[in-house]
Structures are given as C-alpha cells and as structure tokens.
Amino acid sequence: MLAFCITLGNVHDRQPLPELTQGLTGKLFGDRGYLSLPLFRILWDQGLQLITQVRRNMHNKLLPLFDKLVLRKRAIIETINDQLKNIQQVEHTRHRSVVNAMVNVLAALTAYTYQPRKPSLNLSQNNLNLLPSLNKQN
C-alpha cells in the first residue's frame, strides 16, 4: 500500500497523518515531532500504536526491545525521502502548472515502487520468531 499527501509548506506533518493511516493497524514509528497526546489517541483508536523517542525534557519510557531496535532504524525512512528528492527529483519546484507538478510526483513514486533494491530492515522470519514482543501480539 502506498499513501501520500501533498500539503502547503506551513502544514505540520502531524495534520494529515490520521488520514494517511486509514486502514492500517500495528505500530507506527516516528520522530520526536510526532509526540502529541491527541494524535496518539486518534491513532490508538484506529488500531495503531505510535512509537517515538522522548524529548530531552521528558521522562524516559519503557519500550520493548524490538520497538527500541526498530526505532533506531528510522534512518531508512530518511534514506527513502532522500532518494525521492534527489534521484526521482520530487523536490523540483519550478513547474509551470499544478498538473505538471502532480505528474512529476506520481512518476517519481511509480519509479520508486519499481526500483529493484529498496532500503529494508532485512528481518528474516526466523529473526521475527525469536522476538518475544512480536509473538505476544500475534
């Protein structure tokens, strides 16, 4: 499943998140910018658990080992964003019409989906079976 949302520059990333995650369940990993109790509750009601790092002025919270390890792998998301911006040239802003801009974004997303080697966590089924936090949820 691929979902994306194009917003104005002054719209915070949290605003379109509930709409983008419709129909998803499980865990959602994000950075400190997604820390928000109202957003957490909205996502929780949808069946998503929002997992983020804590800010410096917050108390540390206990996380299952798997969640902590996956949270460290957030750099993969930044790699994908970098590939979309630089290789597929999504960040080009000199389009003469909105239609041309949208065609560029859709072409970049389509090209990315057909890319043979995408960044991944490289977890095998054997590794997943060894993690107790995943086995409890299934």
pLDDT tens, 52-111?
Answer: 877 666 666 767 777 777 777 777 777 777 777 777 677 666 778 888 888 888 888 888
Residue 93 has a pLDDT of 67
Place of tokens 């089924």: 125
Angle between helices 98-113 and 75-86 (to 10 degrees): 130
Claim: this prediction has a pTM higher than 0.95 = no
Is the per-residue pLDDT at 124 higher than 70?
A: no
Residue 9 has a pLDDT of 80
- Say how far apart CA 60 and CA 3 lie, in whole Å: 32
Q: What is the mean pLDDT of residues 32-54?
A: 84
